[in-house]
Structure 1
Amino acid sequence: MSLARDWLNRQLLHWGYRVERTLKPDLFEILLWRFIEINDRELQFIQIGANDGVNYDPLRSVVTNKRVKAQGAVIEPVPRFFELLQQNYAKYPSIEPLNVAIHNVQRTANLYYVDERSVKELPKWVLGIASFDRSHLVRNGVPEDKIRSTEVPCKTVVEIYEEQQLSRLDLLQIDTEGYDATIIRGLDFDRLRPRLIHFEHGLRDGLMSEKDFVSLVGFLNSQGYQVLPEDYDAIAFKPNDLLGSLLDKG
């Protein structure tokens, strides 16, 4: 594994990045840049839970890079974050902000979020933990009287994919505060098969239980994916897509 990681790190030099030794190298970013290189610097993607497009965003620096031809949708259901998302992507016409939520069945759903006026009383990060599950906010220390709800329109991932007129899906990025596994299990893999899926497991905070994570990994394996766990997230990829490309273009 160390030899493969060293090789992937060297590929970043081609893009003008300085590679430094760290205790926790960003494996997702390394793999993503490699996929972009394989695809002639193109990236077609859907990001679910984009927040404001800057904070806590693992894609911002990649999809706005001038060397990358990025096309896709950045999805954020919380109105105040969506307004910022629109502003932050105003200069990138091939990336469309969408004010919807992803749900496999429902056309509308109640979304729970933290009252913005509480930002001085609570840690700033709680503003980013909107969820269909009210108890998720409570478990993260949000007082009941600081929780608000709003009804949001919902679409499926396939609907977003077709509306964006993408020819393939290189990356499905998911950060939905505990709903990631449901979205993945609800994907229509016969119609849409992402090459990379980057999702949040949050095991250390109980966002996903170990049992649920193992079950999800098994499900992804059954769909032909291998899964690489990171500290708080995980990367699902098709071995033939990555390893075959390394042999062809290495």
Structure 2
Amino acid sequence: MHRAFRDLHGLRFLQIGANDGQRNDPIFSFIRAFGWHGTLVEPNLDFVVKLESLHRRAPRIRIVPAAIAEGRATRPFYRIDASIPGLPNFAQGLATLDYNRILTACRDLGLSDSGIVQDMIDVIVWSDLDPESRLAETEVLVIDAEGYDLTLLRLWDWQRVRPPIVHFEHACADPAEYRHFLGELSGYGYDYVVEGDNTTAFLPLH
């Protein structure tokens, strides 16, 4: 963060796949400590309720109950049934527009496909977040979309907006596609660090 910003106070963020706003969240502590403001996008309505409660005293934080994709639609959204006993903590965050991805996650957890819950959700495009989210002013972009991360990043308008920090999960990405995208980020002037399942790209201070 300090390699991208001289001052961490008051930054404008955009987070896609905000979950409950706290569990394994990379920016919650920054939001609270430095008064960040911005937009949280989350399609799981149970988590939307938790986000609204978490940020009820933060009027400069906007919560959007939707998913981002290539086009506007109402689409099935798949998640693991949170009521299944013995689920590991991370499993509550497994949710995606990709049925095959959630089916793979179920099998990895030793569950059958009966553990999958389907909701119908609103899907919007990046530009639908404007003007309130002021995408052109985004300073920290965070994406955790369970395998949809690179798709969303490729839909981002890099020619117009290059956030100084871009943090995303790459665990579910095709390795060759991921390496190619890292090359694209380098072409946009980003350095990056990889930690576990996540990549943080940043524009160094000049």
TM-score when normalising by structure 1: 0.74
Question: How far, CA to CA, are the matches of 1:233 and 1:74 in structure 2?
Answer: 19
The answer to whether the Cα contact below 8 Å between 2:135 and 2:161 also exists between their aligned partners in 1 is: no
Question: How far, CA to CA, are the matches of 1:212 and 1:40 in structure 2?
Answer: 32
Q: 1:97: Cα distance to partner?
A: 1.6
Amino acid at match of 2:70: N
In the TM superposition, 1:56-71 aligns within 5 A as 56-65=24-33, 68-71=34-37
Cα deviation, 1:163-201, whole Å, max 9, x if unaligned, reads: 224661111001111111000111112332222110011
Partner of 1:243, secondary structure, is coil
The answer to whether the Cα contact below 8 Å between 2:48 and 2:65 also exists between their aligned partners in 1 is: yes
Partner of 2:145: 176
2:157 pairs with 1:195: no
Partner of 1:216: 181
Q: 1:233: Cα distance to partner?
A: 0.6
Report the structure, 1 or 2, having the larger strand content: 2
The answer to whether the Cα contact below 8 Å between 2:136 and 2:160 also exists between their aligned partners in 1 is: no
2:200 pairs with 1:243: no
Q: 1:42: Cα distance to partner?
A: 2.1
The answer to whether the Cα contact below 8 Å between 1:89 and 1:97 also exists between their aligned partners in 2 is: no
TM-score when normalising by structure 2: 0.89
Partner of 1:8: none
Report the structure, 1 or 2, having the larger helix content: 1
Q: 1:34: Cα distance to partner?
A: 5.2
Q: 1:40: Cα distance to partner?
A: 6.5
The answer to whether the Cα contact below 8 Å between 1:52 and 1:84 also exists between their aligned partners in 2 is: yes
Q: Which has the higher contact order (CA 8 A, sep 6+)?
A: 2
Name the larger-Rg structure: 1
Question: How far, CA to CA, are the matches of 1:107 and 1:156 in structure 2?
Answer: 9
Amino acid at match of 2:173: M
Question: How far, CA to CA, are the matches of 1:35 and 1:42 in structure 2?
Answer: 14
How many positions carry a matched residue from both structures? Answer: 202
Question: How far, CA to CA, are the matches of 1:154 and 1:77 in structure 2?
Answer: 8
2:18 pairs with 1:50: yes
Structure 1: gaps of 5 or more residues:
1-30, 245-250
2:184 pairs with 1:231: no
Q: 1:214: Cα distance to partner?
A: 0.5
